[in-house]
């Protein structure tokens, strides 16, 4: 248990989100950690983001968190039909969040159909496709908007301790993505060591 876990945080709809986390843990569905979800919610509040796009829905945990933090519209893209159905069930149970689940492959979906521009983009999907997601959907983020990417410090980004060839290749792809985005003139980016690493980029005016 880390220090964060010892702190008592007030959570809106605490029992609802606790059930979602238990569901994800039981079925081994990766969702945002409680620590990162709190940080993401604070970013929504600070930026006063209203129109949010998420790539990677899972069961809808982070999408609903962003809606509860103040986003007036959240569009979340998920390619798994089974996960889409679970997410829609949670959105329905929530009853108050304006969250639209789009069941589609984000690498092929036309961003123009999502009715942007968006002032906040959250990417938490296939890590090998981070570069493609960033380029494809970053164009539809308004200037001054935020782009947040999860898992950018994947497994500590330690190639020496990893023996699985596929994981080593994935770490290299994430490393290339991190270094590329951090040096783009049109963005100001910083990596935060929360959870498995969160990158926060501001699209320059």
151 alpha-carbon distance from chain centroid:
9
pLDDT in the model for residue 163: 64
- According to DSSP, the residues that pair with 99 across neighbouring strands are 74
List Cβ neighbours of 191 (8 Å cut-off, separation of 6 or more): 152, 153, 178, 182, 197, 198, 199
pLDDT in the model for residue 200: 98
pLDDT tens-digit map of 15-47: 999 999 999 999 999 999 989 999 999 999 999
DSSP alpha helix (H) spans, 69-162: 81-94, 130-138
pTM for the whole structure: 0.92
Evaluate if residue 84 carries a pLDDT over 70. yes
**Structural domains of the chain, ranges and CATH numbers in brackets:** 31-203 (3.40.50.150)
């Amino acid at each position: 248990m880390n220090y964060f876990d010892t702190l008592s945080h007030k959570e809106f709809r605490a029992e609802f989100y606790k059930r979602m986390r238990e569901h994800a843990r039981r079925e081994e569905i990766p969702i945002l950690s409680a620590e990162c979800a709190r940080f993401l919610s604070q970013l929504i509040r600070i930026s006063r983001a209203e129109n949010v796009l998420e790539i990677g829905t899972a069961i809808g945990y982070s999408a609903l968190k962003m809606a509860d933090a103040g986003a007036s519209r959240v569009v979340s893209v998920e390619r798994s039909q089974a996960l889409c159905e679970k997410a829609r069930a949670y959105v329905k149970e929530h009853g108050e969040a304006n969250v639209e689940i789009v069941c589609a492959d984000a690498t092929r979906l036309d961003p123009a159909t999502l009715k942007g521009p968006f002032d906040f983009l959250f990417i938490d999907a296939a890590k090998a496709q981070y570069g493609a997601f960033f380029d494809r959907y970053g164009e539809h983020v308004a200037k001054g908007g935020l782009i947040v990417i999860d898992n950018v410090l994947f497994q500590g980004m330690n190639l020496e301790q990893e023996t699985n060839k596929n994981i080593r290749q994935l770490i290299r792809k994430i490393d290339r993505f991190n270094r590329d985005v951090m040096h783009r003139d049109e963005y100001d980016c910083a990596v935060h060591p929360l959870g498995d690493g969160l990158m926060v980029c501001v699209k320059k005016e």
